[in-house]
Amino acid sequence: MSNSDANTPIIETDPIYGVAMANYPSDRGRLLLAGGVVYAISGTVLNAAFASVDAATASIIVISGMAPLALGIGWVILHQWNREVVLYERGFSYREGSRTVYLFYSDIRMLKLRAGRVRYFGGLVRRNIRELTLKTTQDETIVLNTVYRRIEELCERLELAINRAQRPIIEARLTKGERVEFGGGLALLATGIRLDAQQLAWADYVKYSVADGKLTLHTAEGAAWGSVA
Q: Is residue 97 part of a domain?
A: yes
Clarify whether residues 197 and 106 are in a common domain: no
Q: Percent of the chain having pLDDT more than 90?
A: 27
Clarify whether residues 148 and 94 are in a common domain: yes
pLDDT in the model for residue 121:
60
Residues 78-89 have a mean pLDDT of 86
Among residues 98, 111, 183, 104, which one has the least CA distance to residue 144?
111
Q: How many whole angstroms separate alpha carbon 158 and alpha carbon 170?
A: 18
Structural domain that includes position 57: 27-81
Confidence band, pLDDT 50/70/90 cuts, at residue 127:
low
Among residues 127, 100, 107, which one has the least CA distance to residue 116?
127
User: Given strand 20-25, what is the order of strands in its sheet?
Assistant: 20-25, 84-88, 91-96, 99-104
Q: For residue 8, is pLDDT > 60?
A: no
Q: Percent of the chain having pLDDT more than 70?
A: 89
Tens digits of residue pLDDT in 190-210: 998 998 888 888 888 888 887
Clarify whether residues 34 and 52 are in a common domain: yes
Confidence band, pLDDT 50/70/90 cuts, at residue 110:
confident
What SS3 class is residue 196?
Answer: coil
CA separation, residue 70 to residues 17, 64, 80, 121, 177 (Å): 41, 11, 16, 20, 57
**Which of 37-51, 127-141, 194-208 has the weakest average pLDDT?**
37-51
**Which ranges in 50-106 belong to alpha helices (H)?**
55-81
Q: For residue 2, is pLDDT > 50?
A: no
Clarify whether residues 100 and 153 are in a common domain: yes
Q: Which of 47-51, 79-83, 184-188 has the highest mean pLDDT?
A: 184-188
Q: Is the pTM of this model over 0.75?
A: no
Clarify whether residues 95 and 17 are in a common domain: yes
Confidence band, pLDDT 50/70/90 cuts, at residue 125:
low
Q: Is residue 174 part of a domain?
A: no
Residues 125-136 have a mean pLDDT of 80
Clarify whether residues 1 and 104 are in a common domain: yes
- CA 137 to chain CA centroid, nearest Å: 18
Clarify whether residues 62 and 106 are in a common domain: no
pLDDT in the model for residue 116:
66
Q: For residue 180, is pLDDT > 80?
A: yes
**Residue 4 belongs to a domain with what CATH number?**
2.30.29
pLDDT in the model for residue 6:
46
Q: How many whole angstroms separate alpha carbon 121 and alpha carbon 14?
A: 46
Q: For residue 84, is pLDDT > 80?
A: yes
Clarify whether residues 150 and 113 are in a common domain: yes
Clarify whether residues 216 and 108 are in a common domain: no
Task: Count CA within 13 A, CB hemisphere, residue 95.
Answer: 14
CA separation, residue 46 to residues 34, 37, 68 (Å): 18, 14, 13
